Amino acid sequence: MPEPTRRLAVVGGLGVLPSVRLSLPSRRLLAFLAVAGPEASRGVVAGRLWADIPETQARANLRRAIWQSPGGWVVADGDELRLDAEVDLSRLHEVACAAIEGAPLTMDEIDLLSRDLLPGWHEEWAMPAQEAFHLLRVQALEAACVTMTQQRMHALATQAGTAALAADPLRESAAYALILAHLQEGNRHAAAVRFRAFARTLEEELGVAPDPRLARAVNSAVAVRSL
Q: Are strands 15-17 and 86-87 parallel, antiparallel or unpaired?
A: unpaired
Cα distances (Å, whole numbers) of residue 52 to 58, 66, 85, 126, 174: 9, 20, 29, 15, 40
Same domain, 206 and 101: yes
Q: What integer pLDDT is reported at residue 226 of this predicted model?
A: 43
Average pLDDT for 101-105: 97
Q: Last residue of some domain: 84, 117, 144?
A: 84
Q: What integer pLDDT is reported at residue 4 of this predicted model?
A: 56
Rounded to the nearest 10°, the torsion over CA 53, 55, 57, 62 is 110
Q: What integer pLDDT is reported at residue 3 of this predicted model?
A: 55
> Comparing 107 with 1, which gets the higher pLDDT?
107
> Does 1 fall in a domain?
no
Q: What integer pLDDT is reported at residue 149 of this predicted model?
A: 96
The CATH number linked to 168 is 1.25.40.10
Q: What integer pLDDT is reported at residue 2 of this predicted model?
A: 45
Same domain, 142 and 197: yes
Same domain, 54 and 105: no
C-alpha neighbours within 13 Å on the C-beta side of residue 136? 21
CB atoms within 10 A of CB 70: 15
Residue 130 has pLDDT above 80, yes or no: yes
The least confident of 48-57, 121-130, 203-212, 215-224 is: 215-224
> Does 2 fall in a domain?
no
Domain tally for the chain?
A: 2
Q: Last residue of some domain: 53, 84, 115?
A: 84
> Does 183 fall in a domain?
yes
Expressed as residue numbers, the domain containing 80 is 7-84
